[in-house]
Amino acid sequence: MWGGRFAGSLAPFFEQFQKSLPQDHVLAFADLRTNRAWSQALAKVGVFTAAELAAVHRAIDDLDAEWRRTGIPASDPAEDVHSLVERELVARCGELGKRIHTGRSRNDQVATDLRLYLRERISTLATGITRLCSELVVQADRHHDAPIPGYTHLQRAQPITIGHWALAHCEALGRDRDRLLAAGQRMDVCPLGSGALAGTVLGVDRDALALDLGFAGGPSHNSLDATAQRDHLCELAFVCAMVQTHLSRLAEDTIFFATQEARFLSFGDEVSTGSSLMPQKRNPDAMELVRGKCSRSHGALLALLGSLKGLPLAYNRDLQTDKETLFPTLAETEACLSVAALAIQHATFDTRHCAAEAERGYLNATDLADLLVAAGVPFRDAHGIVGQAVNRAVELGVELQELPAAEQQRLLPQLRVDLRQALAAHTVLARRAVVGGTAPDRVRTEVTRWQQRLAAWNGTHR
Ligand code: ARG
């Protein structure tokens, strides 16, 4: 491909070392598409006659059909996917194949292939997010009014509904999906025609090329930038890192919920494993693996950023490493989304136990203070009074709503209410009907909103 100036050949070990086909062969179909559009553009400026163009396109179509049948030869001796495709085209249409690299560089070619390929991967990732959110919304719908203890500092704080918890994870993933699609939009410009670094010759119509390849943002506007920058890959790596971080928090929540200490949910056999030694064990390995793999996505983001730091414009071979960093993290994020969706699908909440636990541990102390406030006590004083009431209840080994009448009379003389009624979890929940609150009615509304959102997502990205 570039042997003219060289008398000898690459040292065998370096020859292997510098290959990118093991990573970039997945770009093959994108590369064929790029070749199709480029040869068309070349025909318009007289490099191919109409008949020659038809022959080139036939060769491209043949190769496309062959590889769809046989798979892409990832272990071919070719250096990278672009040289593999060129060699195969020359084998199929000879002289014409040798003309196809006119005015083009692998630098604008790989930049174009990547954007075409990542378009598909963005769509797959978006679908993965939609699937997981759908499972969470199923749980939220089922348990929109089911009480469960809510935590801060991993200490029991206030009751919430299981539905509210599930939708909280949806909100985070929804933002990730927005980020993903925004990154997709930003990268929707066509680098082809940028040449190696300075732009191409021959008066190639780059607007037509961009249109042909389906780039909504038209052609890129600076050939140095188009061939040398990879910030769009960093953005995708960030989205993966953020998705994985959110999955890891979802995993941690559910792993805790599945402990014998919490017993809020159990995972089905589909996503649980046993111990080779301890016959009684039932481990939440699916979510543990999701939690564990998260840090690798952080590593990928740092590796990509690091590979760009201090890199002079324009193309440097360092950029070839972008694929071996980004592609595995895309694949792992897709896999983790699928496993998390499976785990949520096969998670069964013990709603009786969750509800009983939501009545224990003084989760309603804030509401008792609110009752005092309603009776005219300033909040700061109410806070102190309830703190003492909690101390007394702890001494007696009861909950606030179980304080004997005499104790209520002594500690909370301002209150003439039935504490059992006023401090029951369902009362506490219903009081939080504010927008964004955990009240069952509010969660019901949010479930509906999410169902509509998912329907829209399913319409746009399948
Ligand atoms: N395999 C290379 C990459 O992915 C192709 C780019 C061109 N190579 C070059 N020596 N200019 O970055």
Fold of 107-143+160-348: Fumarase C; Chain A, domain 2 (1.20.200)
C-alpha to C-alpha distance for 401 and 403, rounded to whole angstroms: 6
Distance 238 CA to ligand 1 centre (A): 24
Distance 316 CA to ligand 1 centre (A): 8
pLDDT surpasses 80 at 152: yes
**pTM exceeds 0.85:** yes
CB 56 within 8 A of CB 46: no
User: Three-state SS for 360?
Assistant: coil
CB 39 within 8 A of CB 98: no
C-alpha to C-alpha distance for 408 and 417, rounded to whole angstroms: 10
Pocket test of ligand 1: the residue of 34, 107, 324 to mutate, having most ligand atoms within 8 Å of its CB, is 107
Q: Which of 105, 169, 246, 275 is catalytic?
A: 275
Average pLDDT over residues 287-305: 97
Rounded to 5°, the CA angle 332-336-340 comes to: 175
Assigned token pair, 274: 């046993």
pLDDT surpasses 90 at 119: yes
C-alpha to C-alpha distance for 116 and 34, rounded to whole angstroms: 9
What mean pLDDT is reported for the chain? Answer: 96
pLDDT for res 296: 96
User: Three-state SS for 350?
Assistant: coil
Residue 341 phi/psi, 5-degree rounding, is: -60, -40
C-alpha to C-alpha distance for 61 and 58, rounded to whole angstroms: 5
C-alpha to C-alpha distance for 299 and 289, rounded to whole angstroms: 16
pLDDT band at 460 (very low <50, low <70, confident <90, very high): confident
Pocket test of ligand 1: the residue of 19, 110, 115, 325 to mutate, having most ligand atoms within 8 Å of its CB, is 110
Assigned token pair, 61: 């179509």
Q: What's the pLDDT tens digit per position in 87-100? A: 999 999 999 999 99
Query: What homologous superfamily does CATH list for 358-458?
Result: Fumarase/aspartase (C-terminal domain) (1.10.40.30)
Pocket test of ligand 1: the residue of 224, 317, 321, 327 to mutate, having most ligand atoms within 8 Å of its CB, is 317
pLDDT surpasses 80 at 336: yes
pLDDT band at 355 (very low <50, low <70, confident <90, very high): very high
pLDDT for res 462: 44
Assigned token pair, 60: 């491209």
Q: Identify how many contiguous H helices and E strands the chain contains and give both numbers.
A: 20, 4
pLDDT band at 461 (very low <50, low <70, confident <90, very high): low
Average pLDDT over residues 38-67: 98
Q: Residues near ligand 1 with C-beta < 6 Å?
A: 20, 24, 80, 106-107, 110, 315, 317, 319-320
CATH architecture of 16-102: Orthogonal Bundle (1.10)
Q: Comparing C-alpha atoms, which of 168, 1, 179 is closest to residue 81?
A: 1
Percent of the chain scoring above 70 in pLDDT: 100
pLDDT band at 3 (very low <50, low <70, confident <90, very high): confident
Query: Catalytic site residue 164?
Result: no
Average pLDDT over residues 68-89: 97
pLDDT surpasses 60 at 164: yes
If phi over 0 gives left and psi between -120 and 50 gives alpha, with beta otherwise, what is residue 189?
beta
pLDDT surpasses 50 at 382: yes
Domain ranges for the chain, please list them.
16-102, 107-143+160-348, 358-458
Q: Any residues with CB less than 8 A from the CB of 13 and at least 6 apart, and which?
A: none
pLDDT band at 5 (very low <50, low <70, confident <90, very high): confident
C-alpha to C-alpha distance for 407 and 410, rounded to whole angstroms: 5
pLDDT for res 278: 87
Query: Catalytic site residue 9?
Result: no
Residue 363 phi/psi, 5-degree rounding, is: -65, -15
Residues in the chain: 462
Beta 265-267 vs 155-161: how paired, if at all? unpaired
Atom of ligand 1 nearest to the CA of 20: 1
